[in-house]
Amino acid sequence: MIIADCHLHSEFSSDSHARIADLLHQAVQKGMHCFYLTDHHDIDFPPEAAGGLDFQLDTSRYLDCLSDLKEQYRGQIEIRTGVELGLMSHISDRLKAYTTRYSFDFIIGSSHLVDGMDPYYPEYYKGRSQTEAYRAYFASIYENIQAFQDYDVYGHLDYVVRYGPTKNSNWNFADYADLFEQILKTLIAQGKGIELNTAGLYKGLGYPHPHRDILNRYKELGGEIITIGSDAHSPEYLGYGFGLAEELLLDCGFRYYTLFHDRKPEFLPLG
């Protein structure tokens, strides 16, 4: 059994209304041993990009709150601190200043914007083919990981395939293999991991992020660090599809999944 959900959002994220107490209750009910909160912090997020949501984390208040809860839940569940940072190459200095100022157990680096645009919205696809738009998303991941390295795993690597005009129905790894070769080799060389994000299962993909073609290539290239998270923005999705996620990883040849404590990986057996 997977003992922690490494990707969760609460009302500290501007796109969630979940109370931390309710998320904790659900985690305890599900028999989790650890609890990670990874609320959004997206520096330089244009307010018009996502209907006025700003995705700025009140980090001091967030960490104080988690520190109080840590005491309160001692003996029931271990609370660890996390954040999901929106990465973009032009903000790497500001990202570095942020991760130097605040300490977390675990940092997910994610791509939510490309050239100031959120691939969630149709304007991102205007004037180019879907494959070109997806390639631009993956190319920006490669730029991001060259510019900034103070994170632990890259989040939902193929998030963009949820939103294109035909979504993932024409998915063909060969169209992107060159980009993934660069991304995955760089992540592995830098000691970074990836996450298996089960939101794909409840957001219409039919499988967790990233596609198993990407998982397989990561494994073949020697990748070993992989965290598992639901990306739940409400308690009912906490731990969603973790049985299936575990089977998928075993099927791809992984034997361990990863938790982070104080930014260091801990490897736990699958199966």
Interface positions, 28-47, toward Zn ion (CB under 5 A): none
- Compare residues 110 and 198 and give the one whose CB is closer to Zn ion: 110
Cα 226 to Cα 254: distance, rounded to the nearest angstrom: 9
The stretch near Zn ion (CB under 5 A) out of 44-52, 108-116, 218-226, 252-260 is 108-116
265: which residues sit within 8 A by CB, 6+ positions away?
152, 193, 225, 258, 259
Quick one: which of 120, 206, 122 has its CA closest to 160?
120
Output the smallest distance, CB 68 to Zn ion, in A. Answer: 23
Query: Whose structure tokens read 């942020």?
Result: 98
Between 81 and 110, CB nearer to Zn ion? 110
List the one residue out of 163, 141, 170 whose CA is nearest residue 154. Answer: 141
Q: Which of 10, 92, 110, 144 binds Zn ion (CB under 5 A)?
A: 110
Across-strand partners of 86?
A: 110
Q: Per the structure block, which two tokens stand in for 114?
A: 């490309």
Candidate segments 41-49, 78-86, 113-121, 188-196, binder of Zn ion by CB under 5 A = 78-86
Q: Smallest gap, in angstroms, from Cβ of residue 18 to Zn ion?
A: 12
Closest CA to 232 of 17, 3, 1, 2: 17
DSSP 176-223: THHHHHHHHHHHHHTT-EEEEETHHHHTTSSSPBSPHHHHHHHHHTT-
Pick 156 or 217: Cβ nearer Zn ion? 156
Residue sitting closest to Zn ion (CB)? 110
DSSP state of 91: G
Residue closer to Zn ion, measured from CB, 158 or 231: 231
Q: Which of residues 228-257 bind Zn ion (CB under 5 A)?
A: 231
Which of these segments, 57-65, 77-85, 126-134, 201-209, binds Zn ion (CB under 5 A)?
77-85
Task: Tell me the number of residues near Zn ion by CB under 5 A.
Answer: 3
The set of residues, in sequence order, having a beta carbon less than 8 Å from that of 19 and lying 6+ positions away, is 10, 11
Closest contact distance (angstroms) between CB of 233 and Zn ion is 8
Instruction: Give the per-residue contact string, 176-215, with Zn ion (x = CB under 5 A; - = no).
Output: ----------------------------------------
Chain positions contacting Zn ion, by CB under 5 A: 84, 110, 231
